[in-house]
Amino acid sequence: MSIEIDILSGVAAWPMVKPLLESVWPAGRETAPQRTGPETAHPTLRVLVESDGELVSHVGITIRIVSWNGRKCQIGGIGGLVTRADNRRQGYGSIALRAAERTLRDHEAIDCGLLFCDDQQAPFFQARGWQRYDGEITAEQRGGKAPYRDLTPLQIDLRRKIRGGTLDLCGLPW
Ligand SMILES: CC(C)(COP(=O)(O)OP(=O)(O)OC[C@H]1O[C@@H](n2cnc3c(N)ncnc32)[C@H](O)[C@@H]1OP(=O)(O)O)[C@@H](O)C(=O)NCCC(=O)NCCS
């Protein structure tokens, strides 16, 4: 079995990952505009994990300048982690997440990693070093800027410890 990890531009890789993402978050579903939404919502980069030439796992990386307690900082947003349903529990999701974290660490100007997940998925990330972000988050949403509380925010320390306080995502959530 050969495993290959590619890190590609978020827009360019979209056609390759669209079927996988839409198998979990069908296009147009009301609850997750950021997952399969318009071009502006594409992540900066995408991690693609292939096993024997087949795409098995994906995660997106959105690099964004946000406002934290009124100060600018650069966040590495992780989103859209998906493993093909018939390839789960074989370590591919962990490989994708680790590759995304390494990409953020290698990019020396990123202050912190941040992701959003539902409560059932949080233990997966917490077992891999992510911690709950303990503060208020605002983001662009359909009706304009508003508190974003749909999902659980988890963060991982990079250059700084951004673990709480007021965070304005300065755009859509990822
Ligand atoms: C969440 C998700 C991405 C995990 O992907 P995955 O490829 O199954 O992840 P892994 O195989 O690395 O880990 C999953 C579990 O399998 C276990 N596992 C890993 N390798 C294994 C193996 N060879 N044999 C048995 N179990 C294994 C891991 O320990 C982990 O268990 P844990 O959560 O108790 O630690 C996948 O379930 C998914 O696509 N879900 C739908 C989309 C989603 O909800 N995404 C998250 C929100 S952003």
Residue among 102, 49, 126 at smallest CA distance from 80: 49
d(CA 47, CA 58) in angstroms, rounded, equals 6
Could you count the other beta carbons within 10 Å of the beta carbon of residue 108?
8
* Ligand 1 contact via 24 beta carbon (within 6 Å): yes
d(CA 50, CA 87) in angstroms, rounded, equals 11
Q: Residue 28 — very low, low, confident or very high, per pLDDT cuts 50/70/90?
A: low
Q: What is the 3-state secondary structure (H, E, C) of 84-119?
A: CHHHCCCCHHHHHHHHHHHHHHHCCCCCEEEEEECC
State the DSSP string of 22-39.
HHHS-TT-TT-HHHH--G
Domain residue spans of the chain:
3-168
Between the CA of 92 and the centroid of ligand 1 the distance, in Å, is 7
Between the CA of 85 and the centroid of ligand 1 the distance, in Å, is 10
pLDDT > 90? residue 143: no
Protein residue with its CA nearest to atom 19 in ligand 1: 91
pTM of the model: 0.93
* Ligand 1 contact via 90 beta carbon (within 6 Å): yes
d(CA 154, CA 143) in angstroms, rounded, equals 24
Quickly name the fold that domain 3-168 has: Aminopeptidase (3.40.630)
Query: What pLDDT, on the 0 to 100 scale, is given for residue 36?
Result: 44
d(CA 171, CA 70) in angstroms, rounded, equals 15
d(CA 16, CA 128) in angstroms, rounded, equals 27
Instruction: Tell me the pLDDT tens digit for each residue of 43-73.
Output: 999 999 999 999 999 999 999 999 999 999 9
Instruction: Tell me the pLDDT tens digit for each residue of 62-109.
Output: 999 999 999 999 999 999 999 999 999 999 999 999 999 999 999 989
Residue among 109, 43, 51 at smallest CA distance from 75: 109
Between the CA of 91 and the centroid of ligand 1 the distance, in Å, is 6
